[in-house]
Amino acid sequence: MILAVDIGNTNITTGIYNENDLMFVIRAATDRTRTPDQYAVELSSMLRIHNAENYEFEGAIISSVVPELTNVIKDAIYTITGCTALLIGPGVKTGLNIRIDNPAQLGADLVAGAVGALNKYKMPCLVLDMGTANKISVIDSKGTYRGCTISAGIGISLNALSSGTSQLPAISLDAPQSAIGTNTIDSMQSGTVLGAAAMIEGLCARLEEALGEEVQTVVATGGIAGDIIRYCRMDIIHDPDLILDGLKFIFERNKI
């Protein structure tokens, strides 16, 4: 068994692999105040819920964009599995050629998502990661990571809209029947949900133009991807486990 963990700003997502099969996925809220023991208790409880507390783990791998939690989760994993987790970072073999100004600055989640796409889909490819931030990675026909876009996630935008105004409420991520909102909630949903979908369409078109190659695959992952891409007027594959799969591929490449 392999334990793959993606530590994000909002959620910590854990996948359990049996060889190439993803057995199940665990999602927990990111809490920067918890100790390794507290995370170990939570992980142990979740494994027990899935009747997996007696699994024998071959290893573990972590991607993290929350530096203060990286070693906390690593210690928790060691407590539960006895395995020292591999951390995505410089020196780890990924099979991904990164061609940006400073490859060391590329987020571990973007690396894992790109590796997952590279091993699963036709290139050139655009990888949408929609979570706390919205990111679109560009991978060319040779499998080279060329760069990305980063913008505020929908949750951040909605929080700013609701908290920064006196009369605008919190809303759900549903699109109204018409793009022309005739009440406050419909207007906010149109601007937020349909606006995000339109931004994705526009950015993908501009990225393809800048790349100079016809994009063969657009794939979306992340916590809110499914809520938004259904309103996009283009073909987008929804792959919620893309980052975990990428971590699994990287783990296999680095096995001793």
> Could you confirm whether 109 is annotated as catalytic?
yes
With residue 77 as reference, give the H or E element that holds it: helix 67-81
**The one catalytic residue among 109, 129, 239, 245:** 109
Residue type, 111: V
Spatial distance between the Cα atoms of 51 and 54, rounded to a whole number of angstroms: 8
**Which residue has 């096995």 as its token pair?**
255
Angle of CA points 11, 16, 18, to nearest 5°: 160
Spatial distance between the Cα atoms of 54 and 81, rounded to a whole number of angstroms: 10
Q: Which candidate, 128, 240, 231, 219, places its Cα nearest to that of 189?
A: 231
Length of the chain: 256
DSSP state of 237: E
User: Catalytic positions, please?
Assistant: 109
